[in-house]
Amino acid sequence: MALSKDPEKRARSLANLRKGKAKPGNSRAMTHGGGADASKLPAATKAAARADIEAELAASAPVRAADGSLPVADRAIVELAASALARHRHVEAWLDAEGFFTPKGNLRPVVVQLGKIDRALTELLDRLGMTPRSRATLGVDLARTVSLADAMSEPDPEKRKTMLADAGLAVDGTAEEVTDE
């Protein structure tokens, strides 16, 4: 629609337009938020969704510092992973409510965006050693169990008893000591 050449009519039409940008944190026009720049999402939404996720990820990361906490070098990746996981959950909740298809039967573009979020999240979790493949690559054994063969072949009786208990074999100390002599 073209603007009128009549200056008065044109001025009235232009007066109806709003000037300026939306205030920071305005999410009225946001639908799923999958493609949104994370810095433009409402701060309260980001902080609330990410804080719990970040704490869970930090607590469950398999690689630990000497004091048992998350290594300082991993904190940035945990923050990024928490942000990606929060976005993933937000988009998934939106898709659960709205459906994967439009009323005309077309796949919603946000489904493609969700795939990108999933790939980024998987890459971040891989870097943290939080996927089976990455744990195997890192050599991290989450169960940290002692093999029965190692325990049985331990020459020191006290250490063998401890290792057998760690391997899940109850040792009550009543059995005779068997030696190879």
The Cα–Cα gap between 19 and 27 comes to 18
Share of the chain above pLDDT 70, in %: 65
Block residue for tokens 């232009």: 14
pLDDT at 146: 56
pLDDT at 108: 92
Instruction: Report, as ranges of residue numbers, the positions in the chain whose pLDDT lies below 50.
Output: 37-40, 142-144, 174-176, 178, 181
pLDDT at 60: 81
The Cα–Cα gap between 137 and 126 comes to 10
Q: Two tokens at 157?
A: 């009786």
Per-residue burial over 27-53, b = 16 or more CB atoms within 10 Å of its CB, e = otherwise: eeebebbbebeeeebeeeebeebbeeb
pLDDT at 72: 86
pTM over 0.75: no
On whether the CB atoms of residues 167 and 151 are closer than 8 A, the answer is: yes
pLDDT at 115: 93
Per residue, the 3-state secondary structure of the chain, as one string, reads CCCCCCHHHHHHHHHCCCCCCCCCCCCCCCCCCCCCCHHHCCHHHHHHHHHHHHHHHHHHCCCCCCCCCCCHHHHHHHHHHHHHHHHHHHHHHHHHHHCCECCCCCECHHHHHHHHHHHHHHHHHHHCCCCHHHHHHHCCCCCCCCCHHHHHCCCCHHHHHHHHHHCCCCCCCCCCCCCCC
